[in-house]
């Protein structure tokens, strides 16, 4: 009997707001729990998810986020008032905790412990003046071409 091929999932995380941090983390966790090899590539603002100084201070953008307003009953016009983003972020963290999901930093550690590989985009890091020391321990830095090569033969999701 032939060995079953290893399933592979590559996730590109491009946004670093609180509401956009959870989708790639949840997908990576679910894939690892299913035995799937996982590589997550954090590019542009997605780097905030694995940047030590930012990962536990992500916020929700209330202006320009039409899906946010019905969920939290925040009319678009009210979103421009100072403090609304902080309030919406607090509300979202509260809802996430009710679902028993960990905070971003803890979730990143959880998926790493489960065997997911985390990569910062070299070009984005250069642009933002970040080094590997700014990222969570264990994260590596790769160029886009290297990530494309390692993603060959698997599923790729862009979040």
The conformation of residue 135, written as its DSSP 8-state character, comes to B
What is the tens place of the pLDDT at every residue in 2-60?
A: 677 779 999 999 999 999 999 999 999 999 999 999 999 999 999 999 999 999 999 98
123, pLDDT greater than 70: yes
Q: What is the 3-state secondary structure (H, E, C) of 50-117?
A: CECCCCCCCCCCCCCCCCHHHHHCCCHHHHHCCCHHHHHHHHHHHHHHHCCCCCHHHHHHHHHHCCCE
The predicted pLDDT at position 128 comes to: 97
Domains along the chain?
1-56+103-159 (3.40.1260.10), 60-102 (no CATH)
Residues present in the chain in total: 159
């Amino acid at each position: 009997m032939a060995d079953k091929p290893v399933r592979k999932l590559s996730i590109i995380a491009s946004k670093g707001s609180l509401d956009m941090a959870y989708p790639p983390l949840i997908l990576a966790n679910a894939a690892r729990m299913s035995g799937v090899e996982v590589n997550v590539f954090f590019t542009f603002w997605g780097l905030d998810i694995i940047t030590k100084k930012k990962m536990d201070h992500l916020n929700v953008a209330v202006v320009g986020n039409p899906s946010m307003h019905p969920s939290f009953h925040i009319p678009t016009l009210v979103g421009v008032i100072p403090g609304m983003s902080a309030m919406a972020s607090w509300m979202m963290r509260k809802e996430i905790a009710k679902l028993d999901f960990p905070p971003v930093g803890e979730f990143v550690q959880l998926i790493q412990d489960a065997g997911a590989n985390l990569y910062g985009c070299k070009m984005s890091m250069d642009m933002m003046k970040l080094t590997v020391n700014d990222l969570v321990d264990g994260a590596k830095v790769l160029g886009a071409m290297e990530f494309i090569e390692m993603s060959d033969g698997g599923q790729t999701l862009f979040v």
